[in-house]
A and B are shown apart, each in its own frame.
Chain A
Amino acid sequence: MLKIVELCKTYEDGILALHNVCIDIVKGQIFALLGANGAGKSTTINIICGFIPASDGDIWVDDISLKDNPRLMRSKIAYLSENVMLYDNFTGYQNLKFFADISHSEKRKLEKGNISENMEKSLSQKEYLTQILRDVGLQDDFIHVNISKYSKGMRQKVGIAIALVKDAPLLLLDEPFSGLDPKAAYDFQKLLYKLRNEGKTILMSTHDIFRAKEMADIICIMKEGEVVMTKTRDELESEDLNKIYLDYIEGRVAPMPLNMPSISNFVVR
């Protein structure tokens, strides 16, 4: 589904933010990027989103390459950042409608009419969007209230609703849990499970080791721009992730060797 191949990023001021990062995510997985502040998690996600150019390497989503077709790539991803970004002067519903409008008309253009209009056919757009807001758990009273009156959790819900409406197979979440109260975080976690069950692939960065261990199918630890460990849920089953994390971060353990035979196949392809 998502393949990051030897991704490197050096910022203009010479900071080496990413060095040969390789990540491979299978469809329907939740992938957690762990790492200290400044490890390069956001940089990775920003590159996938196309906010900043990569210095080297490439990213593939399905069979679309970021280098070759950045615009089509963007129709494959939905992005949710730590501080959910919405238009403050509009209500939750209006925000959702705006992004729904632009995602649909853009899709239509790109895929030339071949669009999955899911429930929209039977429901009016308004009912459909309201339904989505309900699905992500926004209280009805708040649907038509200005975003500026929303709590962080509610913004997060609208943000994920926007991502849902975009109907992209890959969700990129940059520290989605930071700043959420326990109840909101729990709701959000349930929502992500639901999305995974619907077949979405989720890449999220987080500091929250426990939640990562609980949720993620694959966990990856980054340190100073390099991937130092990648393990599946099964591999970690009986281990203490917290300890492993600290060991890696404090340099008590040597980084795992890159063990991704699929990459060469991929590149040759």
Chain B
Amino acid sequence: MFTKLLNHEILNLLKSRRVYLTVIMFLLLFTTVFVVRVLDYQKQVNQYIEDVKVNDEAMANIENYSHITPRAIQEPILFSIYNEGYRIQRVINIKFYEAIIETTSINAERNMLFFPDTELDITFLITFFLSLFILLISYDSVNGEKQVGTLRLLMTYPLKRQSFILKKMLGVFIFVAFVFTMPYFLSIISLMVIYANLLTINFFISAFFYWFLTIFFILFFSLLGIFLSTCSKSPNQSLVYAILTWMVLCIIIPISWDYIISPSLSNERIHQATQNYHTYTTQAKRAIEHDLPDDANLRLVPMGIWTSSAGIENDGIHEMSLWGYDETYEQSSRFQSHLYENYYPLIRASEQAYDDVYRVRINTENMMNRVFFFNPIVIFHNLSMKIAGNSRVDHLVFLHTARELRDDLVNLGATEGWLFDYRFYAHFKEEYNLGSREEMLARFDGDRELVWEYVNDIEENAEMYEMEVPVFRKYEQPHFTLAMMIPRIFESMVLFVGSIVGLWVVIWWRFLGYDVR
């Protein structure tokens, strides 16, 4: 009996031209977005391969250079085809030799929906268009039948009102769920064909949860559409309601949160954290430029930001070669230990401040989830990021791992001595000990070309210092398991399911007293 009702409902949807057009539009959009995202992912993969290659080369040549720059490189996430998440910096340079540490913390982040440079992904498609499509399919499901009169006719049969509303809900739900599931699984199969070697169990867990969530999302919007269709007598009016509701959920709430509510909630704390960050970086800068030991001869410190800011470029890049080895070594070593003791802790503190900004953002995001528990767009967006491993938390984890790596290297260098040991740059024989710049110029009758030639010559004949290459491992994407996934999404999931059940109860209650005429 009920299956007959349901079959009829689904057939009815299939025969409606409006539904037909909507579905075709959705499928077209899905295909387009998928193709665009796959191309983009391919770009990311190529970039990643390039980055890894550069890194490997640098590590291979580590003996030929005084300073190495290993990098923490995050693999692009295949799932970013479905959910791009925040735009995060996937490569972090770790310049440990000069103790000038660059691990970037705050990156251009994106508001998926409204940032001007938004790239489409499937999550955007679902939250922005699928929601609209569902509403467009279901806005007249009850009052449409009421207007035509079939609702009345049905009510002269001994079926329960509940069966009617259940049939309506399940009809829309099953229909849309099928329309989504079909291209979704096709897309996953095509990914399996294209990227067979990259697919991990992690991907399939994400893919399953993503599908699962979308099903809930569809359920919510089917219910919402039916609810709206019981709110007004005329389908035209409920169409207006549907579009308004969609605009509120999809545009007004996200915009007002991003530009009004969220800033007012977190501005103070972000301001404080930013203040801290500036304080620490200013102090760090002072530590390099001003708080040096009195007898430091910075001209003898060859590398790092100091040299570039001191502008020794034109004729001074080899200046340190012009002095004696011992003095160079000593100055350099003193500078390094100064940095290690004074500058490096400040850098860490400034990173802490950066992270605080991040944490404030994560907190406000979680709060948004709780405040807008009735808005599936917000919750779905948030959940899908957690599932895909593209959330802010994931990026913080990446940053922390990279910094740990760097800290290990820096501390190792400090304890083993090579961090302060300039000798591994080049080892000059005694006879190459040079005088001052003026002396050298005098020696070659002021011909600078000859001086350069001579210096280069010396360098070529220098013996390299045998240094022990520090162990460096690449950053690897954490592979979460089912057991890790569930606690991650538990709270949002509860809110999500709660709002669906709530809506269902409201509809049920409304329809029992609904005027069918």
A residues at B contact (CB < 8 Å): 46, 49-52, 71-72, 74-75, 77-79, 81, 83-90, 98-99, 101-103, 105-107, 109-110, 162, 166
Taking A52-B517, A98-B4 as contacts, is the C-beta distance between A87 and B156 under 8 angstroms? no
Number of A-B contacts (CB under 8 A): 75
Q: How far is the CB of B137 from chain A (nearest CB, A)?
A: 14
Q: List B118-156 residues whose CB lies under 8 Å from chain A.
A: 148-156
What 14 additional pairs, Cβ within 8 angstroms, besides A90-B12, A90-B15?
A46-B517, A50-B155, A74-B157, A74-B158, A78-B156, A84-B149, A87-B150, A89-B15, A98-B8, A102-B1, A106-B158, A106-B159, A162-B153, A166-B157
- Which residues of B lie under 8 Å from residue A75 when comparing CB positions? 157-158
- Which residues of B lie under 8 Å from residue A102 when comparing CB positions? 1, 4-5, 154, 157, 159
Please report the C-alpha to C-alpha distance between residue A109 and residue B160 in the assembled complex, in whole angstroms: 13
- Which residues of A lie under 8 Å from residue B191 when comparing CB positions? none
Q: Is the CB of A85 within 8 A of B157?
A: no
- Which residues of A lie under 8 Å from residue B155 when comparing CB positions? 49-51, 74
Q: Is the CB of A71 within 8 A of B12?
A: no
B residues at A contact (CB < 8 Å): 1, 4-5, 8, 11-12, 15-16, 148-160, 515-517
A-B pairs with lowest CB-CB distance, top 7: A85-B149, A89-B15, A105-B1, A79-B156, A74-B158, A71-B158, A85-B150
Interface CB pairs A-B, < 8 A, 15: A49-B152, A49-B156, A51-B517, A71-B160, A79-B153, A81-B153, A87-B150, A88-B148, A89-B15, A99-B153, A102-B1, A103-B157, A105-B4, A106-B159, A110-B158
Q: Is the CB of B158 within 8 A of A51?
A: no
Please report the C-alpha to C-alpha distance between residue A103 and residue B154 in the assembled complex, in whole angstroms: 10
Count chain B CB atoms within 10 A of each CB in A71, A85, A99, A110 and give the residue with the most.
A85
Q: How far is the CB of A198 from chain B (nearest CB, A)?
A: 20
- Which residues of B lie under 8 Å from residue A51 when comparing CB positions? 152, 155, 515-517
Please report the C-alpha to C-alpha distance between residue A162 and residue B149 in the assembled complex, in whole angstroms: 14
Please report the C-alpha to C-alpha distance between residue A51 and residue B516 in the assembled complex, in whole angstroms: 6
**Residue in B closest to A166 when the chains form the complex, CB atoms:** B157
Please report the C-alpha to C-alpha distance between residue A75 and residue B159 in the assembled complex, in whole angstroms: 9
**Residue in A closest to B148 when the chains form the complex, CB atoms:** A85
Q: How far is the CB of B143 from chain A (nearest CB, A)?
A: 13
- Which residues of A lie under 8 Å from residue B515 when comparing CB positions? 51-52
Please report the C-alpha to C-alpha distance between residue A216 and residue B154 in the assembled complex, in whole angstroms: 28
- Which residues of A lie under 8 Å from residue B8 when comparing CB positions? 87, 98
Q: Is the CB of A109 within 8 A of B153?
A: no
**Residue in B closest to A162 when the chains form the complex, CB atoms:** B153
Please report the C-alpha to C-alpha distance between residue A78 and residue B152 in the assembled complex, in whole angstroms: 11
Please report the C-alpha to C-alpha distance between residue A248 and residue B160 in the assembled complex, in whole angstroms: 41
- Which residues of A lie under 8 Å from residue B156 when comparing CB positions? 49-50, 74, 77-79
- Which residues of B lie under 8 Å from residue A74 when comparing CB positions? 155-158
A85 partner, pick from B16, B153, B160, beta carbons under 8 A: B153
Count chain A CB atoms within 10 A of each CB in B11, B16, B150, B160 and give the residue with the most.
B150
- Which residues of A lie under 8 Å from residue B149 when comparing CB positions? 81, 83-85
Q: Is the CB of A87 within 8 A of B159?
A: no
Please report the C-alpha to C-alpha distance between residue A83 and residue B149 in the assembled complex, in whole angstroms: 8
Q: How far is the CB of B1 from chain A (nearest CB, A)?
A: 4
- Which residues of A lie under 8 Å from residue B15 when comparing CB positions? 89-90
Q: Is the CB of B152 within 8 A of A89?
A: no
**Residue in A closest to B13 when the chains form the complex, CB atoms:** A89
Q: How far is the CB of B250 from chain A (nearest CB, A)?
A: 29
Q: How far is the CB of A104 from chain B (nearest CB, A)?
A: 9
Please report the C-alpha to C-alpha distance between residue A87 and residue B141 in the assembled complex, in whole angstroms: 12
Please report the C-alpha to C-alpha distance between residue A106 and residue B160 in the assembled complex, in whole angstroms: 10
- Which residues of B lie under 8 Å from residue A83 when comparing CB positions? 149
Q: Is the CB of B16 within 8 A of A89?
A: yes
Q: How far is the CB of B27 from chain A (nearest CB, A)?
A: 21
Please report the C-alpha to C-alpha distance between residue A109 and residue B4 in the assembled complex, in whole angstroms: 14
Q: Is the CB of B12 within 8 A of A109?
A: no
- Which residues of A lie under 8 Å from residue B157 when comparing CB positions? 74-75, 99, 102-103, 106, 166
- Which residues of B lie under 8 Å from residue A106 when comparing CB positions? 1, 157-159
Please report the C-alpha to C-alpha distance between residue A109 and residue B2 in the assembled complex, in whole angstroms: 12
- Which residues of B lie under 8 Å from residue A101 when comparing CB positions? 4
Please report the C-alpha to C-alpha distance between residue A79 and residue B8 in the assembled complex, in whole angstroms: 21
- Which residues of A lie under 8 Å from residue B5 when comparing CB positions? 102
Q: How far is the CB of B10 from chain A (nearest CB, A)?
A: 12
Q: How far is the CB of B59 from chain A (nearest CB, A)?
A: 67
Q: Is the CB of A87 within 8 A of B12?
A: yes
Please report the C-alpha to C-alpha distance between residue A57 and residue B419 in the assembled complex, in whole angstroms: 99
A86 partner, pick from B4, B150, B158, B516, beta carbons under 8 A: B150
**Residue in A closest to B147 when the chains form the complex, CB atoms:** A85
Count chain A CB atoms within 10 A of each CB in B152, B156, B157, B516 and give the residue with the most.
B156
